[in-house]
Each structure stands twice: as structure tokens, then as C-alpha cells.
Amino acid sequence: MSALETAGSGSANGSALVGEALGGLIALRQRAAHGDVPAPEELDHFRRRVAELLKAGRNPGRFSQYREHVLEYAERGRFDGYELASLGRSALEFLREDFADLDVFDDMTESDLAEIDEELTAAAEEAPPILDVPSWVPESHWWWRAPKQTDMSEEERRHRLYGGELDDY
């Protein structure tokens, strides 16, 4: 929560802090997948505070910037952006699922998600495969398993991801 508090107050790296905070939602899901679940009242307090902070100060704009960054990664999905876009898209989906009752998403956010999904779908035709889908990723997060070129050679995969030949690394 401190990342959102700092971001909302006008920190120069505020959009990175919002990304850090949303990454915390993934960490929370990882913990839950291993049986480490917070007490219900603690979780409720956390959810309400995060929702409050996302709507405060500069955070609405920073949250919009975060979504734009995820979209940019999705647009670069045929090369080096697909896995990062998948990570950001999962953070947004956890926010959508876990904060549905707290009015965190508006029409613009839903529109951004639709655009991200369109880009991920289009990029999946040529995206390098994600070799190790994290164990915390639910089946409903289709984007992690969407790349169709699962037989891409390691050389081609590295070329797409890093823009060079294997000998360069």
C-alpha cells in the first residue's frame, strides 16, 4: 500500500509504483495458492484501502498509464513484449476479480482491457512461446497459453526476444 500512497502524492516514478502495487496482487495470489491466506478482516481492510488509494491523488492517471504500458507490451507481443503483457494483464484481471465490488474499474478501464486482449490475441499468432507459465496462473488467464508457435526454435525465440543472433549472447 505504501507504493500507492507514494504514487498518489506525486512521486516522479508514480506509474512504476502503481505497477509495483499491482504486482503485489500477483504476490498475494501466489501466497494464497500455497495456503497462506490472510484473515478475512485483514483482506477486506487491504482491499478497501487499495481501492481508495487507486482513486486518490494522481493514482487514477498513474493507473491509466499502467494500462497503457501493458497495451504497449501487448503491441510488441510478436517480439519481446508478450510475457510482460501477460504479467500485466493478469495483475489487471486479479484487480478486476478481487475488487469487483469496490468500483475500481470504469468504462475506460474495461475498454483498455478489451484493447489489450485484442492485441494479445493478434500477437499470439507469432509470439515467442512462454516456456514456463507460472504455477499461480489460473486457467482463465488464457493469454499465458495463447502463443501458437510452440515449436519455435530456441534460436528464433531468442532472436525475437533479444533482436540478435544466439552467438551475440
C-alpha cell read off for 20: 509495483
C-alpha cell read off for 167: 552467438
Question: 0.85 exceeded by the pTM?
Answer: yes
In the chain, where does DSSP find H-type helix?
Answer: 2-8, 14-33, 40-54, 59-75, 82-98, 107-123, 154-162
pLDDT in tens, the chain (169 residues): 688 888 888 777 878 899 999 999 999 988 888 889 889 999 999 999 999 999 999 999 999 999 999 999 999 988 888 999 999 999 999 999 999 999 999 999 999 999 999 999 999 998 888 888 998 999 999 999 999 877 777 777 777 777 754 444 3
Contacts of 69 (CB under 8 A, 6+ apart): 15, 19, 88
